[in-house]
Structure 1
Amino acid sequence: MSQTEFAVNFFVALFALLDPVGNVPLFAAATAGAKSKDRAWIALYIALFAFGFLTFFYFSGLSLLEFFGISLPAFRIAGGVILFLLGLEMARDDFTSTFAEAADAPNGTGRAYARKRFERMIVPFAMPLLIGPGAISSVVIYASQARQFGLQGAFVGVGVIGAVAVATLLSFLATPILSRILGRIGLSIVVRVLGLILCALAVQFILAGFAESTSGFIRPSIANPYGH
């Protein structure tokens, strides 16, 4: 595999796992009431967080999990539990209210407001919704593949992570357009539907985690129904 193939495969996999376009409605709900400029700052903070967090795991990888004695299946199960709780809030239309205090708490405006609101969104929006166990494990796997390219492989990997972070920023900057198209009622419907999907995805994470950590407890066709 050439460096170009590695970069393309890494970008496609990571972009699909973060799915910034699919998370735009959730970002719109999480930043409801924020001004366009403040929302842009929040989007920038999230993109920088994604870049820094994934880059950290790209270089530390399994070493960090091994240090704390955490397996990837355990991390997947924990992420699934958090996602399930988030999905329930969304399905019950409590998702926006989860971030309501963040809209009122900051007294300042601009970057100070955006920074405080972003701090409220790190969990569960930035992680594990945007950056889940799948994204982290993929970064670790591709980091191991990049070793064959030496130092250039490390730079290519960081470049790919940066490109995905930029794509995430651009996707979230387009939130006002989507908000105008859907309106308040349409956005609420989308969030409820996505909440149901997230609950199912969370259960799938948990099943996959149990399947990886046990033998014969979960059928492979249930843990990985579509073979990828």
Structure 2
Amino acid sequence: MNFNFLEIITSSMVLFAVIDIIGSIPIIVDLQKKGGKIEALKATLVALGVLIAFTFLGQKLLGLFGVDISSFAIAGSFILFIMGVEMALGIEIIKYDGPSGVSIVPIAFPLVAGAGSFTTVLALRAEYAMENLIAAIILNMIFVYIVLRSTDLVERVIGEGGIHILRKVFGIILLAISVKLFMTNVAIQIHTLFPFLKEAL
């Protein structure tokens, strides 16, 4: 295995922005009031298992539809861009349904391991080594566990203003990363379709 610290940090930040567990604290608190105590360990382990399974099997699933990972990454970059716009501007573009439940549904799935994180891990696979991506997922799940264990404390310490600022900052980061992801994978597609351009450039 060839771990790359920079890749781990970069992919961790992308996943952190997409999962947005800090921004989800008000939702978690509300679910806690309605559904009782959240089992932090169970929710975290389920989310971790789902994300890792999708990281390994997602590409094969795409293959069934004849889609390569760089094409999926381009599509994923649009989703990340929209999510970044939502976070940075404080608007809602993607509509979410809120199923009832607590630890497994909707905390583990789809709040932590959902469409956004599925798209992200597959998109990141096009750019980063598998071991670094897995390390990034594990780091994020450790953070998710800590937040779920101490939701009330985090809410009191950061406050609504702090959560608002974090969403804005990570929204801008997400926008920048989505643009980079788009440009990198468009270049791959161009070189695949027109190999002579690679030599010319």
TM-score class, shorter-chain normalisation, is 0.5 to 0.7
With normalisation by structure 2, the TM-score equals 0.65
1:117 aligns with 2:106: yes
Distance, in Å, in 2 between the alignment partners of 1:201 and 1:38 is 37
For the residue of structure 1 that corresponds to 2:172, the secondary structure is helix
1:198 aligns with 2:174: yes
Residues 87-143 of structure 1: CA deviation (Å, up to 9, x unaligned): 111112236x966x63xx63xxxxx344443345344454335x352157757x55x
1:35 aligns with 2:32: yes
Distance, in Å, in 2 between the alignment partners of 1:42 and 1:114 is 7
Aligned length: 185
Kindly state the Cα deviation for residue 198 of structure 1 after the two structures are TM-superposed: 1.0
Distance, in Å, in 2 between the alignment partners of 1:162 and 1:185 is 27
Distance, in Å, in 2 between the alignment partners of 1:81 and 1:55 is 23
Distance, in Å, in 2 between the alignment partners of 1:165 and 1:182 is 19
Distance, in Å, in 2 between the alignment partners of 1:170 and 1:11 is 22
Q: Which consecutive unaligned segments of at least 5 residues does structure 2 have?
A: none
Distance, in Å, in 1 between the alignment partners of 2:172 and 2:144 is 25
1:79 aligns with 2:73: no
Alignment partner of 2:11 out of 13, 17, 21: 17
What letter corresponds to residue 83 of structure 2 in structure 1? L
1:212 aligns with 2:201: no
- Match runs of 1:1-228 below 5 Å: 6=1, 9=3, 17-19=11-13, 23-28=20-25, 31=28, 33-35=30-32, 40-41=38-39, 44-45=42-43, 47-58=45-56, 60=57, 62-94=59-91, 102=98, 106=100, 112-118=101-107, 119-121=109-111, 122-128=113-119, 131-135=121-125, 138=128, 141=130, 167-173=142-148, 174-215=150-191
With normalisation by structure 1, the TM-score equals 0.59
CA contact (8 A) 2:73 2:182 kept: yes
Q: Which consecutive unaligned segments of at least 5 residues does structure 1 have?
A: 1-5, 107-111, 143-156, 221-228
CA contact (8 A) 2:58 2:122 kept: no
For the residue of structure 2 that corresponds to 1:33, the secondary structure is helix
Q: What percent of counterpart residues are identical?
A: 17
